[in-house]
Amino acid sequence: MSRPWLPSLKEIGGDAERAFKELHSCWDKENLSKDEKCKNIAAIRQELLLFWQEKIHEGKLSVLKYEVKNIRAEIEIWWEKCFLSEDEKQEFEDYKSINYTDQLYGCHVEELERLKRKFYRNESLYLLIKKHQDTWERVVNMDKQLYNPERLFQNRGAQLLQEERDRRAAQKDLPHLEELIKKETELFEREHGRPFLIYGKCFSDMILHQKELHKENQKSLKSARKKCENCCAPSNAAKMTTSISKLKRKLDNPPSPVAVQTKQARVASCDKLGSRRGEVCGPKLRLPVRRKLIERTVNVPVIQP
């Protein structure tokens, strides 16, 4: 049997032995009797027992906290699997207790077992609801992307086309899943005489509530997009006004004769350079494109060399 604590225990024993030797030397100097020494040793032993009992209690309390914390995390997972509402979660009052005892741990174990029994009695129905919720979340997220202006600049590999196909497929699956779940919940209500609750509501009420929230979110997204477009419009108009004013300044201030002569000289030098390259490398290396570019820049008739 492995005992990794044995070296530490030997060290503690060695420390205790050295401490008792020093105490005995002090008691000898005080000329204490044998009975007095025994009383002192008994008192020290009692203090050490109390110390170790306190440490053992702290260790057990730490273990209980760790176990309760783990089982609470597991309970939260099963709460989500069973689609419990906040009010139904609040019914388990021991969940927020900080009095960590064996009794508290036992209450958490019972709650976890209850949730597992609840889930496995209607596992097929819970799995259908989970599939419906996942499909609904995908539809909501894809509808949000419709109002994202940046998605048009991220269309790589026909991404927008694939998103539209996925959205239509998800919207096609939702009515089929809703019909199956309604049949299963009606069967449950006939057998048990009580409604099958999802987040504290009937399935039809839950669907209606989700669709209303989705419509409100879409309206808010539309209004936000319109505000953004209205804010961007003045900036575009200002840019257009700036470009028009620059063009007017160019038309109102024609180039001076000196500037025209300088640009004509540049055109002539360009033609000479092109003719020299044509002699060495052939006519393909002439510079007609450069000449046309400079002519457009100069915007004046060029004197042929």
Q: Is the pLDDT of residue 257 over 50?
A: yes
Q: Is the pLDDT of residue 301 over 60?
A: no
Q: Is the pLDDT of residue 28 over 50?
A: yes
If asked whether residues 170 and 156 sit together in one domain, one would say yes
CATH number of the CATH domain containing 131 = 1.20.58.1520
* Residue 186 is assigned to a structural domain of this protein: yes
Q: Which three-class secondary structure string do you get for the chain?
A: CCCCCHHHHHHHHHHHHHHHHHHHHHHHHCCCCHHHHHHHHHHHHHHHHHHHHHHHHHHHHHHHHHHHHHHHHHHHHHHHHCCCCHHHHHCCHHHHCCCCCHHHHHHHHHHHHHHHHHHHHCHHHHHHHHHHHHHHHHHHHHHHHCCCHHHHHHCCCCHHHHHHHHHHHHHHHHHHHHHHHHHHHHHHHHHHCCCCCECCECHHHHHHHHHHHHHHHHHHHHHHHHHHHHHHHHHHHHHHHHHHHHHHHHHHCCCCHHHHHHHHHHHHHHHHHHHHHHHHHCHHHCCHHHHHHHHHHHCCCCCCC
**Are 275 and 287 a contacting pair, CB within 8 Å?**
no
Q: What is the pLDDT of residue 249?
A: 57
Least confident of 190-194, 224-228, 234-238: 234-238
Q: Which three-class secondary structure string do you get for 226-258?
A: HHHHHHHHHHHHHHHHHHHHHHHHHHHCCCCHH
If asked whether residues 128 and 101 sit together in one domain, one would say no
If asked whether residues 222 and 262 sit together in one domain, one would say no
If asked whether residues 221 and 278 sit together in one domain, one would say no
- What does each C-alpha distance from 297 to 39, 151, 168, 291, 294 come to in angstroms? 112, 39, 54, 10, 5
If asked whether residues 188 and 278 sit together in one domain, one would say no
* Residue 234 is assigned to a structural domain of this protein: no
Q: Is the pLDDT of residue 207 over 70?
A: yes
Q: What is the pLDDT of residue 126?
A: 95
If asked whether residues 34 and 75 sit together in one domain, one would say yes
Last residue of a domain, one of 79, 103, 120: 120
Into how many domains does the chain fold?
Answer: 3
Q: Is the pLDDT of residue 69 over 50?
A: yes
**Predicted confidence band of residue 7 (pLDDT cuts 50, 70, 90):** confident
pTM exceeds 0.85, yes or no = no
* Residue 300 is assigned to a structural domain of this protein: yes
Mean pLDDT on 188-205:
91
* Residue 4 is assigned to a structural domain of this protein: no
**Predicted confidence band of residue 276 (pLDDT cuts 50, 70, 90):** low
* Residue 217 is assigned to a structural domain of this protein: yes
Q: Is the pLDDT of residue 302 over 60?
A: no
What domain range includes position 177? Answer: 122-229
